[in-house]
Amino acid sequence: MLSNSCRRTHRASRGLAGGVRSERGQALFETGLVVLIFVGLLLALVEFGRAFMLSNVVTNAARVGARLAAIAPGAQRDPNGVILSGYVTTIEDTVEAEIAALDPVLASAATVLVTQDAGPPPTVEVRVTGSFDALFNYLGTSSFPVDRSVTFPDQGRDG
C-alpha cells in the first residue's frame, strides 16, 4: 500500500502531466490558427498581385493600340484623316492579342473601343473594359473589373 507522501507525489505528477498535455493542445490550436491566417493572407496577396498584373497588361495593350491608331498611315484614313473601320478592327484585334497572350478569357470578354477627337489637338483614345475571374473566391469576390484608357496625339491628322 502507498504511503501518504507517495500518494501526494503520484497525484502531483499526474497533474503535471495533464498540464503539459493541456499546454501542448493549446499550442497546437494556436499554431493552426496562425497557419490559417497566414494562408488566407498569402491567397489574398496572390489574388491581388495577379489583379494588379492583369491591370498592367490591359493598360499596356491599350497603349499599343493607341500608338497604332496615332501613327495610322494615310492609306488607312479617309480624306478627313479619320481612321478607316478596317484598320480600327486591326487595332482592336491587336489589343485583344496582347491581352490574350496572358489571359485568353479576359481577351475574349474585353471590349476595345477606338475613338478619335478632332481636337485641337487631334487625339486618339483606346479604351479597354471587361472583367477577369478571380483565382479564389476570396471574400465573395468572383471577378475584378478592368477599365483602362490611353490617349495619344493623332500624328496622322492635321490639327
Q: What is the pLDDT along the chain (159 residues), one digit of tens a residue?
A: 555 555 555 554 455 555 556 777 888 899 999 999 999 899 889 888 988 998 999 999 999 999 999 999 889 888 888 899 999 999 999 999 999 998 888 888 889 999 888 877 888 999 999 888 888 876 677 888 889 999 999 887 665
Q: How many CB atoms lie within 10 A of CB 90?
A: 18
Cell 479576359: give the residue.
106
User: What is the Cα–Cα distance from 146 to 132, expressed in whole angstroms?
Assistant: 8
User: What is the Cα–Cα distance from 100 to 61, expressed in whole angstroms?
Assistant: 10
User: What is the Cα–Cα distance from 104 to 151, expressed in whole angstroms?
Assistant: 25
